[in-house]
Structure 1
Amino acid sequence: MGLAGRTMVVTGAGRGFGRALALQAGRSGARLFVSARSLEAARRVADEVAADSGATVDAFACDLADPAAIRAFAAGVAARTGHVDVLVNNGARYLAGPDLGDADDDAIADTVASGATGTLLTAKHFLPLLRASAGADMVNLVSAAAETRNHRSEAHPAFYAAKAAQAGFADVLAHRLRPEGIRVISLYPPEFTDGDPLAPSWQEASRTADDPLTAQSVLDCVLFAIGQPRDCFIRSFHFEQV
């Protein structure tokens, strides 16, 4: 099943992977709801998507570290549609610094809240809309940092903690929602480059194993998984790292 006519929600859509996914989804015929921490950033991407593909897009401000903001976001979407076919949990704060003391307490709390609690509450408040779909998918952009003993990233330990919690939540949710036909798909990419979501396809085709992973390649994995027939449950994507 493709995205034509399907309703998709993308968090953290103000830049990077979220923006790239929104642009591609719009080109594929999806009806979109995008959020970013600032309404200005969400509206900028919504306008870009609409200009690029003519897709219908609504923009929302949603700070994933704020439970009230998540509830308001879900309520705003519910006021505009009776179902959501694809929920993409992409938004999360990245925090750099290998030493635990490299960040203050507020930054640590915000990182864990946006990546872990934010994903859980977004899933919770969008679940009624997912259950109203004829075939729903929840996609979680986790991170290779959540893989056991994967210490390649220079991210702060708080980011590792947030992503490990997100991975554990996604795993149990995939098991518990499968009887309802709701697929929960998690991706564990290493750090990747944003790339250009509007680049010609020949540029992507010319990439080699020596090139760094791009947002387009991760995006293609998402589109592949949600495009499978409903009897195909792809639990996760893990990426080989050199």
Structure 2
Amino acid sequence: MSIINRFRLDGQVAVITGAGRGLGRAIALAYAEAGADVVCSARTLADVEAVAEEVRALGRRALAVSCDVNDQSQREALVAAAMEGMGRITHLVNNAGGSGPNDPLKMTPEEFAGVLEFNVTSAYSLTQLCVPHMREAGGGNVINITSGAARYIQRHFSAYGTAKAALTHLTKLLAQDFSPEVRVNAIAPGPIRTAALENAAPAAMLETMAKNTPLQRIGEPEDIAAAALYFATPASSWVTGKVIEVDGGAEGSVWG
């Protein structure tokens, strides 16, 4: 196989959570360009329907499924819909997740548990649901979207940072459990220029983030999609249990 063909996903079927915008949308389109059919999932159906149309415009099959990954019954329904509509599952991208800053004296234990549910338990559950289908398909691939916050030591991120650190370690542990049939890897993005970041951070903060990054810019969703494509394809066939940090070279908090 030529080196460029090792970056193809022909005949594969990917389930992507949080695919309605930002990183999930960019990954869905990258996979479609590489030849995969895509199941686009997010809470807002209109968003994933729009992305599914973009996938179809690239000549690939697409499903749009509304799913709140915090709900086990909806996670099960997502996987069932993928199997019914596509006939197989070979790839899972656990992209849905997130949380803002927290005050550890004010965030309740229940709220803390909710952050873990959104970022870690949902990924664990969807992996558990998809791996048997991947094995039936002859092999598979799981990618978890963690965060640079998993390693940054900073104030007011005890919930989000802990959740993403747990997701990072879960990635490494599940890679051992599911090898050799299923590979499990993760991507740890730095600040990425998405609508969510731009809504949360004023222009001055974005400028500070860029200046505090060795490559002197905020990341773009396509930067993460390129890493996700590498992890998904035969190009990384001897890689599992690893985390790629796509963060412009940052080694500490880039929030200034």
Taking structure 1 as the reference length, what is the TM-score of the superposition? 0.82
1:31 lines up with 2:40 in the alignment: no
Give distance in 1, aligned partners of 2:243 and 2:127. Answer: 17
DSSP 3-state at the match of 2:193? coil
In the other structure, the counterpart of 2:79 is 74
Q: 8 Å contact 2:104–2:156 — kept in the other structure?
A: no
1:184 maps to amino acid: V
* 1:221 CA drift (Å): 1.3
* 1:62 CA drift (Å): 1.0
DSSP 3-state at the match of 1:75? helix
1:57 lines up with 2:66 in the alignment: no
Q: 8 Å contact 2:131–2:140 — kept in the other structure?
A: no
In the other structure, the counterpart of 1:151 is 153
Q: 8 Å contact 2:13–2:37 — kept in the other structure?
A: yes
- Give the paired residue count: 224
**2:146 pairs with one of 142, 154, 158:** 142
1:43 lines up with 2:49 in the alignment: yes
1:12 maps to amino acid: G
Q: 8 Å contact 1:102–1:156 — kept in the other structure?
A: no
Give distance in 2, aligned partners of 1:225 and 1:66. Answer: 27
Q: 8 Å contact 1:97–1:103 — kept in the other structure?
A: no
1:241 lines up with 2:243 in the alignment: no
In the other structure, the counterpart of 1:133 is 137
Q: 8 Å contact 1:174–1:183 — kept in the other structure?
A: yes
2:184 maps to amino acid: V
DSSP 3-state at the match of 1:80? helix
**1:9 pairs with one of 4, 15, 23:** 15
2:244 maps to amino acid: F
Give distance in 1, aligned partners of 2:187 and 2:237. Answer: 20
Superposition CA RMSD, Å? 2.3
2:164 maps to amino acid: K
2:243 maps to amino acid: S
* 1:155 CA drift (Å): 6.3
Give distance in 1, aligned partners of 2:59 and 2:14. Answer: 15
Q: 8 Å contact 1:16–1:215 — kept in the other structure?
A: yes
* 1:117 CA drift (Å): 0.9
Query: Unaligned regions of 5+ residues in structure 2, if any?
Result: 1-5, 196-213, 252-256
Q: Deviations over 1:79-136 (max 9, x none)?
A: 22342121111111x2222422565676544322111110111111111111122331
Q: 1:214 to 1:155 in 2, by over 3 A?
A: farther
DSSP 3-state at the match of 1:140? strand
Give distance in 1, aligned partners of 2:29 and 2:237. Answer: 28
What pairs up with 1:106-185 in 2 under 5 angstroms? 108-147=112-151, 150-151=152-153, 156-179=157-180, 181-185=181-185
